[in-house]
Amino acid sequence: MKAECIRRTGNQGSVGAINHIFIGKKQQMIHKYFILAVLILTGFGTGAQTIDKLDKANGFKEFKLGTTLSVLDKDLVKTKSGVYRYTGKNHTTAFGSSVHRIYLRFDSTDKLSGVYISIRGLVGKSGVNSYKNIISLNYGKEHSKENSDTSVSYRWTSEKVNMSLYGWEAGDTWDAELVFRTPEQYAADNDAEKKAARQP
């Protein structure tokens, strides 16, 4: 009788232990799926927020796209190509890197349509990529990328702003250009580059 009771008690204890393990694993799986769902939803939310930030920034610092030339012309010098070079001293860095030069382009109505920020002396292609990662912290992951042995480019797009980062080999280091443009200016620049490439 005692042996039978012991066997029954032992079997019930084993079943209970198995059930406990099974429930524990099930809870772990549910927990993992819950975390995954949160991460996915958070990712979508972050993307929307960062795109919104690009539209809200609408350019670089006080160089807001759509601003009239008369508002910004205090520290600008017009070049032979028709773009304006910023000569002020207020912007020596852009996202942690030293600024070499800033050029501004205005449309036919004298409204700012492009901001071109020149960066020099990045340490190789990895330096350009590191710079891109810093920018991504502000505006999210790039929407497209083009890569070759001697150059790399990244592009972010929103409703109002096209932002691009171009990097290229320049001797022992790499140079880069960070550009904020209206969609119309982006299209115009692309057309100009295509025409230049077709010329002998």
CATH number at residue 89: 3.40.1000
pTM of the model: 0.74
Q: Domain range holding 146?
A: 58-198
| DSSP one-letter code for 80 | T
Same domain, 44 and 78: no
Last residue of a domain, one of 57, 82, 101: 57
Report percent pLDDT > 90 for the chain: 64
The mean pLDDT value of the chain amounts to 81
The alpha carbon of residue 38 and the mean position of all alpha carbons in its chain are separated, in whole angstroms, by 22
Strand, coil or helix: 124 = helix
Q: Specify the number of domains making up the chain.
A: 2
On whether both 1 and 21 belong to a single domain, the answer is yes
Tell me, what DSSP letter sits at residue 17?
A: H
Residue, of 57 and 14, whose pLDDT is higher: 57
Asked if 101 and 16 sit in the same domain, the reply is no
Domain match, 2 and 71 both = no
Distance between start and end Cα atoms, the chain: 104
Helix ranges restricted to H, the chain: 2-57, 69-72, 124-139, 183-198
User: If phi over 0 gives left and psi between -120 and 50 gives alpha, with beta otherwise, what is residue 184?
Assistant: alpha
Query: Which of 13, 32, 57 is where one domain is finished?
Result: 57
Query: Is the same domain home to 101 and 167?
Result: yes
Which pLDDT tens digit goes with each residue over 49-83? 456 889 999 999 999 999 999 999 889 999 999 99
Q: Are residues 5 and 94 in the same domain?
A: no
Per-residue pLDDT band for 196 (boundaries 50, 70, 90) equals confident
Q: Does 41 lie in the same domain as 64?
A: no
C-alpha to C-alpha distance for 141 and 51, rounded to whole angstroms: 10
Same domain, yes or no: 131 and 105 = yes
Neighbours of 53 (CB within 10 A): 13
